[in-house]
Amino acid sequence: MSIVDGVVTYLEKQRPQLDALARDIWENPQTGFKETYAARLLVDALRNEGFRVMAPVAGIGTALVAESGSGAPVIGILGEYDALPGLSQRACAYKEPVDQGAPGHACGHNLLGVAGAGAAMAVKRMMETHGIGGTVRYFGCPAEETLMGKVFMAREGVFEGLDGVLTWHPMYANTLWAASSAALNSFKLSFHGRTAHAASAPEAGRSALDAVMLTDIGVNYLREHVIPEARIHCMVTHGGEAPNIVPEYAQIWYYVRAPKRTQVEQIYERVLNVARGAALMTDTSLDVEIVAACHEYVPNRTIQQALLRNMKEVGPPPFDEEDVALARALKATLPLGMAEDALRSYGVTADVVGDPLCMNVVDELGTLSAGEVQPVSTDVGDVSQIAPTAQMTACCMPLGVPLHSWQAVASAGSGIGRKAMLFVAKSLALTALDLMQDDTLLTKAREEFETQRGGTAYECPIPADLKPPTG
């Protein structure tokens, strides 16, 4: 049996097990660093398949590495399984939480983690039956939603020694994620002043809230003088206790994003200068706390091309009438114009993607194409700075359904998501096996990576003493 047939046959046989895993994780959603249920399921499933499993990893209880084979080349496959807070939802076409206020898989990470594990299992099986040398390593990465898990793992050297890395993300199209993504700093600015009665002795008070508001005003002016691709967003996490007390403590939380890490660092310094100025103006003191940080994603075009070839070989997810009916019903719940706005923001048209479900493999998709920069950030960025990395997307939800919505939870828990998941597992497995067998491909990917890096080593963007918030 050829390797293509072998992978397809094996994963079709594993389908009930993989579907059950994805369903089980979807039914037991947990947020970042708390995803113990999913991590345990994946550890057990991979151990049962004969993987050597290491968990916890990098001091994180819900991080895991599962490995099979030995020696070079070493091919990594990434998985995530964290859910989002407050987005509990049934797998139906109307808004109905399973448990009001509980988390939900609104980014489809229940599929993301299982597809990668399924791919790794298929690679292991083919290595054994076809005598293919090398190592396949599955990385269970917690807390993607807060852009933390992989960065902490990267800081501890977990991704070192890899020759190629494959991953994916749920979306409404079957295509490559060939665009770069934004680097980011997430940080909290805390101001400390002095309380006083706001009416009888305001002159005795030093308002930390004034410092927060002046910082925000300063940053609003700053926005005119940064590159237009940068994004600076914030929320006030603490503004005081009561209007009649001059607030002695206030805090504002910023994200700074830009296409390159160096740009983020420059803008971050300027935001800090604004905050220092606000502290000076208000006679308060300032504390800076880095919450998270990541690099931009750098796609490896060589591996991408192999991945696209395999996606076409496998063929798109075989959605049936029931899937299309659910997709239509979910799409009908979107506010008027939302699907069109989503298409516009990705620079694509419905006829290219497919409506309501993507029934083909799209070569290039608008702003996900090579050379584009997505304004969002992902901690896959840090992995892509350490080893040649490629990622794909698969149609796990109807056209225009945004991630982080109840419709996305419903879709990720339905047959739509699970069919897409199997398409991904097959595509990733075949590409990993290509990399293991084709020295020329591997060398070309490495050369491309070295050229991109220009001889610079990976530098972890989070402080050396920052601990993962796992407690």
Q: Which residue has the tokens 């931009």?
A: 296
Closest to 298 (Cα-Cα) out of 162, 432, 445: 445
Q: Quote the CA–CA distance of 22 and 46 in Å, as a whole number.
A: 14
CB-based contacts of 454, cutoff 8 Å, min separation 6: none
For Zn ion, which is the closer residue by CB, 88 or 195? 88
For Zn ion, which is the closer residue by CB, 87 or 278? 87
For Zn ion, which is the closer residue by CB, 107 or 361? 107
Rounded to a whole number of angstroms, the minimum distance from the CB of residue 115 to Zn ion is 13
Q: Quote the CA–CA distance of 55 and 53 in Å, as a whole number.
A: 6
Rounded to a whole number of angstroms, the minimum distance from the CB of residue 78 to Zn ion is 12
Rounded to a whole number of angstroms, the minimum distance from the CB of residue 153 to Zn ion is 17
Rounded to a whole number of angstroms, the minimum distance from the CB of residue 79 to Zn ion is 12
Q: Quote the CA–CA distance of 342 and 368 in Å, as a whole number.
A: 13
For Zn ion, which is the closer residue by CB, 181 or 190? 181
Rounded to a whole number of angstroms, the minimum distance from the CB of residue 304 to Zn ion is 19
For Zn ion, which is the closer residue by CB, 267 or 412? 412
For Zn ion, which is the closer residue by CB, 108 or 118? 108
Position with the least CB separation from Zn ion: 107
Residues making contact with Zn ion (CB under 5 A): 107
Rounded to a whole number of angstroms, the minimum distance from the CB of residue 193 to Zn ion is 39
